[in-house]
Amino acid sequence: PGPPGQSGLQGEPGVKGVDGKPGKDAKRLPKSVCGVEDKVGRSVCCGESPISWQNYGPNAFIDVDARKCKFTDNDVLYFSDVYGSGGQWEEIGISSIYSTSKTGFRIYVHAKHRWRSSVPAWWANALRHRVQWCGVGMSEGPKVNAMCCGVQPSRKIYNWGAAAYTDVDIKACNVAGSPVVITAMAATSASARNYD
């Protein structure tokens, strides 16, 4: 017989094998309270809006652009919060999301208290209110590397005149840089109906 021929092309990779057991030195994270379970093909993508509130009667709305996430269908679950240089605590609607699609969503805000009759666009823009958001869906775009969730004990909510506040400690998440922080408040009675 003659000499052996050249090697052929490499074949397609096989199916991923079963993950092994964690090593003895592996760090075990506590069970997530995110409420977002890992699903095949689903990913989390986050961002923040520019300062671009528009008038809606005496109040304001903003259209949030999520095209960078490259979600592949309209079945996207969005979460949002607003931050700025003040006054965002006076707004209702910051986590109420409308007109969702794979390219984004809309938020309407209005005044929470009787001493402020409205939230006009100029006011939200002047106070540099930006929407921080995350979306969970099927995506061909960028993904966040990690997500950390927690629950703040109710004993750490303090009175501030006719309002309330809390300081949230995220040190346990061990994040670097400027993370996207999204908050929500839940309650078991109607006394919390004014919170958003």
58-69 pLDDT, tens digit each: 899 999 999 999
Q: What is the number of other CB atoms lying within 10 angstroms of the CB of residue 146?
A: 9
Element (H, E) at 125: helix 121-126
φ/ψ (deg, to 5) at 69: -75, -20
Name the more confident of 53 and 142: 53
Transcribe 43-106 into DSSP letters.
Answer: EEEEEE--S--EEETTEEEEEEE-GGG-BSSS--EEEEEEE-SS-GGGEE-TT-EEEEETTEEE
Average pLDDT over residues 44-49: 88
Residue 136: both structure tokens together:
């969970």
166-182 pLDDT, tens digit each: 787 777 777 777 777 77
Average pLDDT over residues 3-14: 77
* Pairwise CA distance, residues 112 & 92, whole Å: 5
Q: Given a cut of 80, is residue 45 above it in pLDDT?
A: yes
Residue 138: both structure tokens together:
């099927």
Instruction: Name the band, by pLDDT with cuts 50, 70 and 90, for residue 52.
Output: very high
* Pairwise CA distance, residues 186 & 154, whole Å: 10
φ/ψ (deg, to 5) at 176: -110, 160
Residue 162: both structure tokens together:
């006719």
Q: What is the largest CA-CA distance in the chain?
A: 97
Supply the pLDDT for residue 116.
63
3-state secondary structure of 124: helix
pTM for this model (two decimals): 0.62
* Pairwise CA distance, residues 46 & 136, whole Å: 9
125-152 pLDDT, tens digit each: 999 999 999 888 888 877 665 667 777 6
